[in-house]
Amino acid sequence: MSNILHVGLNCIEPILDMPTNRSIPNKRWHLAFTAIYSSRALYSLLNQKKKKKSRKLPVPSNPSFVVLNVKPEAFSSIDHTTLTAIVNEKSFNKLLEFGGIEGVADALGTGIKNGIDGSVNDVALRREAFGSNTYQRPPAKRLFHFVVEAFKDLTILILLFCAALSLGFGIKENGAKEGWYDGGSIFVAVFLVISVSAVSNFRQNRQFEKLSKVSNNIKVDVVRNGRRQQISIFEVVVGDVVCLKIGDQVPADGLFLDGHSLQVDESSMTGESDHVEINSHHNPFLFSGTKVADGYAQMLVTSVGMNTTWGETMSTISRDTNEQTPLQARLNKLTSSIGKAGLAVAFLVLVVLLVRYFTGNTEDENGNQEFNGSNTKADDIVNSVVRIIAAAVTIVVVAIPEGLPLAVTLTLAYSMKRMMADQAMVRKLSACETMGSATTICTDKTGTLTLNQMKVTKFWLGQDPIEDSSLISTDLLNLIQQGVALNTTGSVYRATSGSNYEFSGSPTEKAILSWAVLELDMEMEILIKDFTILHVEAFNSEKKRSGVSIRSEADHNTVHVHWKGAAEMILAMCSSYYDASGRMKDIDDGERMTFEQIIQGMAASSLRCIAFAHKQIPEEEHEIRETSQKLEEDSLTLIGLVGIKDPCRSGVRRAVEDCQYAGVNVKMITGDNVFTARAIATECGILRPHQDINNEAVVEGEVFRNYTPEERMEKVDKIRVMARSSPFDKLLMVQCLKQKGHVVAVTGDGTNDAPALKEADIGLSMGIQGTEVAKECSDIIILDDNFASIATVLKWGRCVYNNIQKFIQFQLTVNVAALVINFVAAISAGEVPLTAVQLLWVNLIMDTLGALALATEQPTKELMERLPVGRTEPLITNIMWRNLLVQALYQIVVLLTLQFKGESIFGVNEKVKDTLIFNTFVLCQVFNEFNARKLEKKNVFKGIHKNKLFLGIIGITIILQVAMVEFLKKFADTERLNWGQWGACLGIAAISWPLGWVVKCISVSKKPFLSYLRWQEHHFLLYVCTKF
C-alpha cells in the first residue's frame, strides 16, 4: 500500500512543482491538498483493482492515477470564494488566517509596491482563475417587444378599429372581391406604421446599449510591474494594485493597502449617506461601485465582476431607455388634442350626413332621392349608413398625426449619434432639447477653456526669480524636494536609467513633479525611503491646499510639516520666508505686500501660482497635535513660489463669441485667484479688455457668498467671472440664475461639483478630467473637455428643437388641409374626395419620409443668430401659425375648387376629378416640404445641395406617388392622368413656393397666438358675469 501511495505522490509532484519556501498558510493548503489528492488516488487505485479482478483482466505494468483540475501554483492557496467572503463579511478573522493583507497579496502573487507582473500570460491566468471584471447584463429587448409596444399606442388602436370598420362595411357594400380594398389597405398602412415605429425604437435602444458600454468604460490607475498606468475598468484583475483619489469609483472589491484620509461614500451599497473611513487598522474593506469622497489610497483587488455585490446587483438592472423628454410629453399632448378635435369633427359629420340622408336631401348616381321612407329597401339603407360611417372614420384617420412621435424619435436618435461624433455623449435625452434653450453657461477654466497641459515657467525664492537651480542652497533645495516628493498624489516612473521619465497624477501635480525631477534633480524614490509619512491632509477644492507631516529615518526627534497650495492662502499662513541663500527672514507688512505683488504679477500673466511652505516641530509637540488629527497651520516659513502656465485652447475665443452672439451669457467659475481668472477670461473673450473689476463683472466666491439674497439676485447677471470659488459658490450662482428665469448649463469635473450639476438645467461633465461622481450627476459628458464642444452641443440642442418645429409646421399643414377639405365636402356634397387609403398614404408616406427629411437637418449658422428659446415659449410659434395657416388655406381653396368645379374646368368625369384632387394634394405637400426647411428665411433652397437625404426622399416620394396614380388604381382608387393633367397638378403645387416667400414678408407679433384666444375668452366671461 505504501508503494502505491509513494508512486502516486511521485506522479503528482512534478505536476504541482510546489516551492519549498512556503508561508504558513501556503503550507497548510499544500498539506491539505496532498492529503485530499492521496485519498482520491488511493481510492481510485483500489476501485480499479477490484474491477480488474472481477473482469479477470491483466494488471497493467504502469500505475494509474487521477489528474485533478487544480488552480495554477501561484493561486493554489486561495480561491475566489474565500476572497469574496473576506470582503463581503468584513471578516478580520478570515483575513488574519491568511496572514493579513500582506498574506493575501503574497497568495495572489502581488507586490505591494510594484503590483502584479502585468504580462499577457499573467493577466490571462488571473482572469481564468478569478473571472473578469464584467457582469452579465439582462438580455437586450428584441424587435418583437417594440412591435408589441407599438400596438399599445392609442393612435394605432384607433387606426386598427377604423380599418376593421372600413373592411367590414366595404365587404358589406361591395362584396368580398372588391370591398376589401379600403379596409385592407388601411390594415397594410397601419402595419407599415407599426413596422417603422418598432424598427426605429429598436435601433434607438441598441444605440443606448452602445452608449451605456462607452459610459461604463471607466479608466482606472493601476500599478503593474512598478509602473503606474491607466487601463479600462474591464481589464482590472484580481491582484491588481489600484490607485484611488477623490471622485473615483472603486472598480472592484478589495483591501486597503496604503493611503491617507480615505473616506468612501457607500450609499450606493448601504443607503447610508455618512462617509465611511477606510484604513488598514480598523476597516480595510473596499466595495465595488462605491465612491471616494476624500483622501487617496492604493487598494488590492480581491474580487471582480460577478463575484462582487455590485456585479450581482448590476446584472439584474437594465438601463431604462423609455425616458420621455419634455418635448415628447408636449407633442403627445398636442397629438391627443388634435385627435380629440378630429373625433369631434367626425362625429359632427356623421350626424349631419345621417340627418341629410334620412330627411331625403341626398341623391344617388342617377339623381334619385336615396331615402324615400318605407319605400326604401333595408339593404339600401344599411349600405348608405355604412358609407356615411366610413366617411366619418376617414376623417378620424386624417386627424391623427401619427408622424409626430416618429419625428421626435428620429431627430433625437440622429442628433445623439452626431453629437457623439462631435465629442458629446448624451446621458439624458431631455438634455438634447433643454440645451437649445440655455441662456447661461457657467464654465470651469482648467481643461475646458485651457489645454490642461501645464508647465512650470516661473520660480521665485524669497523675492528673487530663480533661473538656475545651482544657485539654491543645499538645505533649501532638500526642503523643496521634500515638499514636492512627499506632498503629492502623483508618481514618477522610469524603466531604466537611460529611459525617459513618466509622470502621473493631476496636470498640476505632473507639472510640479516634472519641474522638480528635470530642473532640481529630485530623486523621488530615495526621498520616499528616507522619510516616513505620519499624517496627510488631502487637497480638495474647498481648502485649495494639501499638507503632510513627515519624519526622517535619520532623525526621529523632529517632524517636518509641508504645505502646498494656492499662493495667497499659503502666504497668509506664513510668518517668515527663506531667501535664495537659505536664510530665514521675517515677513512684515512691507514684505507681505511685495509677495502679494509677485503673486499678482504672475497671475496677470495667466499663470497659476502655487506656494510651498514648511515648519519644523519637535516630536513631543507633534504627538500632542496628533490626537486632533490636524497639521500645524500657523507661523509657517514660505519656501518658494512657482508659476504654472496652462495655455488657452486655440478655438475657445471663437466658441465663446459664438455663444455670446447667440444670446447666451458665458460665466467663468474657477478656483484660481482674481488676477489669473481675469487674465484668462480676457484672453478667452469672456471679459472685454477694459472691463474693470469695479463694475462687478469679476467677483470672488467669498464675496458673492456673503452678499444678501437681494444683492445676489441684483448682481448675478452682471458677474462674468467668479474667482476663488468653492463648489458651494457655484451651486449658489446656479440657484440665483434659475430664480431669475435663466436656463442654466454648468460644467463640472470634481466630486464637489455634483450638487451644482444636479441643480442646473443641463449638467455638463468632463470626460477626461471629470470624476465618476461628476459624470453620474451630469446630463451630457464632454468627451474632450473642450469648451468648443459645449458650443457645438448648444448648436445641436437648438437644431433638435428647430427640426421638430419644422416638422410640426409641415405635419399640421397636411392635417388641417385634409380635415377641412373632407369636412366641407362631406357636409355639402355628402361624400369625401379623399378616400381612407389615400389619406393614410398621405399621412404615412409624407409623415414618415417627411420626418426623416426634416428631422435630420444638420445645424446651421442661422441657429446661432437667434436668441434662446424661453422656458414658457409655446412650441408652435406665431411664425409657424402664419406659415401653416396660409399654406393650408391655399390648399383648401384650390382643392375645394377642384371638388366643386373640377369636372367642368378639366372636362373629366368624377373618378378622374378625385384623382386630380388626390395628386394635387400630395404634390402640394412635396413642394411645401421645401418651405418647411426654413421657418423664417425666405431662401428655402440655401444649403439644400448638402442635404442629400432630403433630396433623395423628395425623389422617392414623387416616384411612389406616380406609382400610386398610374399603376395601383384598384388599391388607391385612382385613374391614370395624361401629361396635361400632371402639368396642371405640378403648376398648382408649385405656387406654394412664391406664396411661402410672400408670406414670410408679413411680420407677426411676438405675443403667442393662443394667448389672444385666452384673452378674448377671459373678457367674454367678464362681460357675461357683469350682465347676469
Active centre residues (catalytic): 444
Structure-block grid coordinates of residue 419: 453629437
d(CA 697, CA 95): 58
* Residue closest to 843 by CA, chosen among 4, 190, 6, 147: 190
Q: Which burial class, exposed, middle or buried, applies to 56 when counting CB atoms under 10 A from its CB (0-12, 13-18, 19+)? A: exposed
Structure-block grid coordinates of residue 733: 450662482
SS3 725: coil
Amino acid at 273: S
d(CA 240, CA 251): 11
Q: Which burial class, exposed, middle or buried, applies to 473 when counting CB atoms under 10 A from its CB (0-12, 13-18, 19+)? A: middle
User: How many other C-beta atoms lie within 10 A of the C-beta of residue 518?
Assistant: 12
* Residue closest to 574 by CA, chosen among 594, 558, 559, 554: 594
Q: Return the HEC string of 899-937.
A: HHHHHHHHCCCHHHHHHHHHHHHHHHHHHHHHHHCCCCC
Amino acid at 183: G
* Residue closest to 960 by CA, chosen among 877, 848, 856, 845: 845
Structure-block grid coordinates of residue 403: 408622424
Structure-block grid coordinates of residue 637: 516659513
d(CA 782, CA 950): 30
Give, for 440, the enclosing helix (H) or strand (E). strand 440-443
d(CA 818, CA 888): 9
SS3 644: strand
d(CA 152, CA 156): 7
User: How many other C-beta atoms lie within 10 A of the C-beta of residue 341?
Assistant: 14
If you search the block for the grid coordinates 473642450, which residue do you land on?
A: 786
Q: Which burial class, exposed, middle or buried, applies to 108 when counting CB atoms under 10 A from its CB (0-12, 13-18, 19+)? A: buried
User: How many other C-beta atoms lie within 10 A of the C-beta of residue 909?
Assistant: 10
Q: How far is CA 965 from CA 899, 959, 971, in A?
A: 18, 10, 10
* Residue closest to 801 by CA, chosen among 435, 534, 389: 435
Does residue 360 contact residue 372 with C-beta atoms inside 8 Å? yes
d(CA 932, CA 846): 13
The dihedral built from the CA positions of residue 1008, 1009, 1014 and 1015, taken in this order, carries a sign that is positive
Give, for 303, the enclosing helix (H) or strand (E). strand 291-303
For 538-573, list the strands marked E by DSSP: 545-552, 558-566
Structure-block grid coordinates of residue 1014: 385666452
d(CA 817, CA 665): 42
Q: How far is CA 165 from CA 36, 158, 193, 383, in A?
A: 78, 11, 19, 13
Cβ within 8 Å of residue 460, ≥6 positions away: 466, 598, 640, 641, 642, 643
d(CA 927, CA 961): 13
Q: How far is CA 642 from CA 484, 567, 580, 610, in A?
A: 12, 9, 14, 5
Listing DSSP states for 836-873 in one string gives HHHHHHIIIIIHHHHHHHHTTPPP-GGGGGSPPPPTT-
